[in-house]
Structure 1
Amino acid sequence: MDPPAIEHPRFAKPQRVAFVQACWHRDVVEEARIAFMKEAEARHLTHVDVFEVPGSFEIPLHAQILAKTRRYTAIVAAGLVVDGGIYRHEFVADTVIKALMDVQLRTEVPVFSAVLTPQQFHETEVHYDFFRRHFAIKGVEVAEACANTLLGLERLRGQVAAGIA
């Protein structure tokens, strides 16, 4: 017998989410999108537009342009930054995360990150399998964070409008 389905809170207003996915290692990163879409629907986030960019470095600009349209109540970023042996991949990951934070603070549109930087990533089937599973977990987690944050912001904005906060 299946456990009873969890009924998640509903939003007062429809929410629209942009999901920006890097295509570098698409077969790994898309697991986050697939899991996100399923969990988002369960959490009443049914309007999700998907955008693809070449790599993680391109995500912040797309996130900023999408946030400035005011069409989206949240933006989710997903990508995989790996050590290619040529440059410090930590620099790319750090730059992307800082830029995503800047976007959300400048636009007041929450931006969520499933941009991951493993310490080691080898192009072996074992690593691909591990990271596919890991990205699926992250997809669920980012959907949960997105829904909970949007619910909290909806509540906060209502309190501010009512002069309570």
Structure 2
Amino acid sequence: MATELPPRPVSTSLAHRLAIVASEYHEQYVDGLIRSARRELETIAPAATLDVFRVPGSFEIALGVDRVAALQEPDAILAFGVIFDGETLHATLIAEAVTASLLQTSIRHALPVLHEILVVKTHEQARARCLDEKLNRGVEAARATVRMLGALAEVAVRKK
């Protein structure tokens, strides 16, 4: 596990259209990710618009992201969910399926999809990643979003 957040990227003044697709399950933690991402984006992408779409659970994030990509056409999507790893393979199966789907949606739509479907073992781990400032994955996703949008813009500028 990383012990600190990546550095804050150079801010963008572009009016990017961003979306969050987030699970309603484990709402306390997922809401922490949303709040943290929103705050960070207000600082590093102040002209961006951000729409939040809620789905029942982490498994449903896959379809939610695909539909938001197709119908809303945002510049990037941040996917937020929390899965507690239990005694069965249920958490692993959900996490693997959602991960594969998010990758396919990203490629199919040529769209950054930032994956923050967190698999944790304890509430302490969830708090550290969703509510605390030091390792907050909402902040990390916001920073990665701005970096990825910048990287894709650079690719477009350099095209032959």
Normalised TM-score (structure 1): 0.82
Greater Cα offset, 79-88 or 65-74:
79-88
The residue number in structure 2 matching 1:134 is 129
Maintained 8 Å contact 1:114/1:142 = yes
1:110 aligns with 2:105: no
CA distance in 1, matches of 2:116, 2:76: 14
CA distance in 1, matches of 2:15, 2:139: 20
Q: Which structure 1 residue ranges, 4+ long, deviate > 4 Å from structure 2?
A: 84-87
Q: Secondary structure of 2:152's match?
A: helix
Give the deviation of 1:69 after TM superposition: 2.7
Q: Secondary structure of 1:40's match?
A: helix
In the alignment, structure 1 segments of 5+ residues that lack a partner are: 1-5, 122-126
CA distance in 1, matches of 2:142, 2:51: 14
> Structure 1 residues 7, 53: closer, same or farther in 2, change over 3 A?
closer
Q: Deviations over 1:2-61 (max 9, x none)?
A: xxxx883325x4211110110111011111100000111111153000010000100111
1:91 aligns with 2:93: yes
Greater Cα offset, 76-85 or 133-142:
76-85
The residue number in structure 2 matching 1:75 is 77
Amino acid at match of 2:127: R
> Structure 1 residues 34, 80: closer, same or farther in 2, change over 3 A?
same
Q: Between the two proteins, what is the percent identity of the paired residues?
A: 28
CA distance in 1, matches of 2:64, 2:87: 27
Over aligned residues, Cα RMSD in angstroms? 1.9
CA distance in 2, matches of 1:154, 1:139: 23
In the alignment, structure 2 segments of 5+ residues that lack a partner are: 1-7
The residue number in structure 2 matching 1:3 is none
Over alpha carbons, which structure has the higher Rg?
A: 1
CA distance in 2, matches of 1:76, 1:9: 18
1:34 aligns with 2:29: no
The residue number in structure 1 matching 2:19 is 18
CA distance in 1, matches of 2:146, 2:118: 20
Give the deviation of 1:87 after TM superposition: 4.9
